[in-house]
Amino acid sequence: MEDKLNFSLPEKKRKNSFTSGIVIVLLLIVIGLGATNFLIRPSNQSPYSANAVSALSPEQVKQLAARLAGRNLYSRAAKVWQDYLALNKLPDQEHARILFQIGTLFEKTGSYAEAIEYFYRSETIAKINELEPQINAHIKNCFERLGMFSALRYELMDRTSFNKTKNAGDKIVAEIGAGKITEADLSALIEAAIENQLAPMAAFMTTEQLYEQKNKVLEQYNDPSAKQQFLQSWLTQEVLYRQSLKEDLMEKAETKKLIEELTRSVLSQQLMNAELAGKINITETDLQTYYEANKEKYIEPANEEDPNSTERQKSFDEVRDQVTSELVGRKSQDVQQSFIKQLMDKYNVIIHSSALMPKEQNKNDN
């Protein structure tokens, strides 16, 4: 009998479900491990990362930080020391010295607030006699650079006081309900008011000039009566403000309109100040040159009541503020006109002057 060809497909063998489950679980584990390695492996590891620093000896870390600082890469040098401290438990004195070093590096980058923090950290970890005068000098410089003269004054009082039980500036000078205003708070309020007062001129001054002016005005408040007057004025405004909020004055239409107008004015002035600051840079040499060229404007006339009195040439220091104001006005006028014209063109401003004339004059012109 002739064999018949069998065209049916062979039946699949059923896999053991338990074995298949194990294979799937193993695959998932392998995939998961691979993904984890991919996520935790940096694609481009920084040469200054904590892992890299941990592989260096203390001496090598010092050499690396010194080399970075020697190339003016102060922030990178600070990062090396920060990573080193995070990875190593050091004796307090060594820890304090490194914190001091980090502070000086931040100071060199102009990050004065961060520098002060690390100087504070250093002396908190350990008091080191040879570092104490250096920390005092560095902190003084940082506060001066920040223009925080009130804070500097209290800092110096704390550091020179024999009684360390209470911080300078903690004395309460006023209370509003449960709130208390300390002497340091009052000084900060005065300093903020002075900064607002000098803001229109800040765009034309160097940082040193601005701080000099600020410190000069601040000295006026060394008089207790001046502080008392400022405090009384501030408290008056504060209680009026609090009461206005209780009466929902902020929600009134006329208040919102006034705030909108004030906002327009402030923003316009801020924009103009920024433009002037970018275009005008008045140096000490500019002021001296302007003074020399206009000396005749700064002559004090003779006293008519005194026959022996004669004219006197005022010195540059006497008229410095006047010279600054005049030179700023002269230089800023051209910049303002140019900038406003640029914006007028940008926003397609057209002024129809004829429409503003009286009708009779308009007819005569025609």
Model confidence at 105, pLDDT cuts 50, 70, 90, reads very high
How many domains does the structure of the chain reveal? 2
Which residue, 146, 180, 208, sits at the end of a domain? 146
pLDDT of 191 above 60: yes
Torsion of CA 154, 156, 162, 167, to 10 degrees: 30
Regarding whether 121 and 65 lie in a shared domain, the answer is yes
Which residue, 116, 146, 176, sits at the end of a domain? 146
Model confidence at 1, pLDDT cuts 50, 70, 90, reads very low
Neighbours of 144 (CB within 10 A): 15
pLDDT of 23 above 60: no
Within a domain: residue 178? yes
pLDDT of 45 above 50: no
Regarding whether 107 and 193 lie in a shared domain, the answer is no
Regarding whether 189 and 123 lie in a shared domain, the answer is no
pLDDT of 95 above 60: yes
Phi, psi of 171 (to 5 degrees): -65, 130
Provide the token pair at 92: 């307090």
Determine the structural domain holding residue 84 and report its residue range: 46-146
| pLDDT value of position 30 | 45
Interval 231-260 mean pLDDT: 91
The region of weakest confidence among 156-170, 227-241, 278-292, 298-312 is 156-170
Regarding whether 170 and 104 lie in a shared domain, the answer is no
| pLDDT value of position 174 | 92
CB burial string 20-50: b at 16+ within 10 A, e below? eeeeeeeeeeeeeeeeeeeeeeeeeeeebee
Residue pLDDT, tens place only, 60-77: 888 898 899 888 899 999
| pLDDT value of position 182 | 87
The region of weakest confidence among 127-131, 197-201, 349-353 is 197-201
Task: Specify the pTM.
Answer: 0.53
Provide the token pair at 178: 């449960």
Neighbours of 104 (CB within 10 A): 18
Regarding whether 172 and 141 lie in a shared domain, the answer is no
Q: What is the CATH number of the domain that holds 126?
A: 1.25.40.10
Regarding whether 65 and 139 lie in a shared domain, the answer is yes
Within a domain: residue 81? yes
| pLDDT value of position 53 | 59
Within a domain: residue 28? no
Within a domain: residue 35? no
Which residue, 221, 247, 273, sits at the end of a domain? 247
Interval 170-184 mean pLDDT: 85
Within a domain: residue 205? yes
Within a domain: residue 226? yes
Q: Which of left, alpha, beta for 227 (phi over 0: left; psi -120 to 50: alpha)?
A: alpha
Distance between CA atoms of 356 and 276, rounded to whole angstroms? Answer: 32
Distance between CA atoms of 74 and 58, rounded to whole angstroms? Answer: 19
What Å distances lie between residue 107 and 39, 140, 147, 203, CA to CA? 36, 11, 14, 24
